A and B are shown apart, each in its own frame.
Chain A
Amino acid sequence: MYEGVVQDLIDELGRLPGIGPKSAQRIAFHLLAADPADVERLAEVLKVVKAKVRFCERCFNVAEGPECRICADPRRDARLLCVVEEPKDVMAMEKAREFKGRYHVLGGAIDPMEGIGPNDLHVMELLRRLTDENIDEVLIATNPNIRGEATAAYLIRQLRDVGVTVSRLASGLPVGGDLEYADEVTLGRAIEGRKVLQHV
């Protein structure tokens, strides 16, 4: 244990995802030794991000205003909608530069053992968008693992009578992993070669 505020810092860092006690200690001592201006910048950006960033009212991506940059961009194809689990999956898809439509972020995947069912995700909002907006095709891009597949199976069932084309990322994507770790080329191919499951 360290003196008061140093230990507080280690404790706070240790509460972040993926940071164990040893990493927390390493980061804390790195910050103590760092240039005050660098630490000041980090502290400022942490405060600003919490104050300014929220979720897009339309698609639940991260946004600085009521709508995210992608929803507000008139050049995006509003007839094409890509459904992903998390905002970081929007980033992964955007890096592949293949998809020209808009997104809908579910906020996770269906995971009954963790108590997460369809009603805990933004599924109702998705169905509402399909009635309110002029959407022709829904591309389901949940993670290529069992939770993601099962979430896709649920959505496909819900979309059966909605009257939109439903497609799924091509199966060239390696299974078991997270979308965010797919390289741009593979992901680009998976978007390009997406498989149409339901046609209108």
Chain B
Amino acid sequence: MATYRDVAIVLRTHKLGETDRIITMLARGRGKVRAVAKGVRRTKSRFGSRLEPGMLVDLQCYEGRSLDTVTQAELIAPYGDFIARDYAAYTASAAMLETADRLAEEGQAVIQQFNLLAGGLAALAGQAHSPGLILDSYLLRAVAIAGWAPSFESCAGCGAPGPHRAFNLASGGAVCSSCRTPGSGAPRPETFTLLSALLTADWPVADASAPEVRREATGLVAAYVQWHLERGVRSLRLVDRSETV
């Protein structure tokens, strides 16, 4: 039986039979992993809460034909535990984990995606910034790593230096007056500034943004992600922004 060891983030879990769960994880070396955790729903399970969404674990598995089996999981960081105590952070983390799950299907740039997700979860758990900002920054950078980097300064169509006034989803961000096509929006200039800050993780600028600017940026980020990910990200609809914006 082939066994392996990796560092992994738990993305989601599904019940299996009476007391087991299938654990979907993003592993630093192997990418997306699906493995059975036996007896994990019993309150005296040796896995405890280590295989819950948002947990970072040192994982050992043996390979199976369709599903692997978890033999050991040691906790590295209980991000999920901290995040669950704050409802807004929990809903933001769900959207991050679902996006990571979807992007992992492509199987490219796994280490970069892993590091970005681990960083995002750590920021949510540590309440480093507003959960909504952490989520939007994560989403922009995750789709950028996947090959769909938006541009918020120079024109996404021809590269002409900005700032520009129009925004076009299909072109990939800001567009100049000659690249502008019907259906382009015209967000506030401050919204372009915030989107740039989120994409480059310029936190002092992002933290200082006004609520109405955040709202507009959030709408554009969601539209951009849904545009690139077929079937969309279901958790985005349920992200709680009532106390953060």
Contact = CB atoms under 8 A, between A and B. Distances in A.
Contacts of A175: 48-49, 81
A178 B54 CA distance: 18
Nearest to A173: B43
Contact of A149 (B19, B40, B85, B97): B85
Residue picked from B49, B95, B238, most chain A C-beta under 10 Å: B238
Interface string B202-227: 00000000000000000000000000
Contacts of A150: 83-84, 87, 90-91
Contact of A154 (B18, B50, B87): B87
B87 A112 contact: no
Interface string A136-147: 000000001111
If over half of A's interface residues share one DSSP class (helix, strand or loop), that class is named, otherwise mixed; here it is loop
Interface string A106-150: 000011111101000000000000000000000000001111011
B228 interface: no
A177 B41 contact: yes
Nearest to A19: B17
B84 A146 contact: yes
Interface string B9-53: 000100111110000000000000000000011111101111111
Nearest to A155: B87
A145 B42 contact: no
B48 A146 contact: no
A177 B50 CA distance: 11
Contacts of A154: 87, 240
Contact of B52 (A112, A146, A174, A181): A146
26 contacts: A18-B17, A110-B90, A110-B238, A112-B91, A112-B94, A112-B238, A113-B12, A113-B97, A113-B234, A115-B235, A115-B238, A145-B49, A146-B53, A146-B83, A146-B90, A173-B43, A174-B43, A174-B44, A175-B48, A176-B40, A176-B43, A176-B45, A176-B47, A177-B45, A181-B41, A183-B43
Query: Can you list the 10 inter-chain pairs with the closest CB atoms, starting with the nearest?
Result: A176-B49, A177-B43, A112-B235, A112-B94, A149-B84, A150-B90, A175-B49, A112-B238, A117-B238, A146-B52
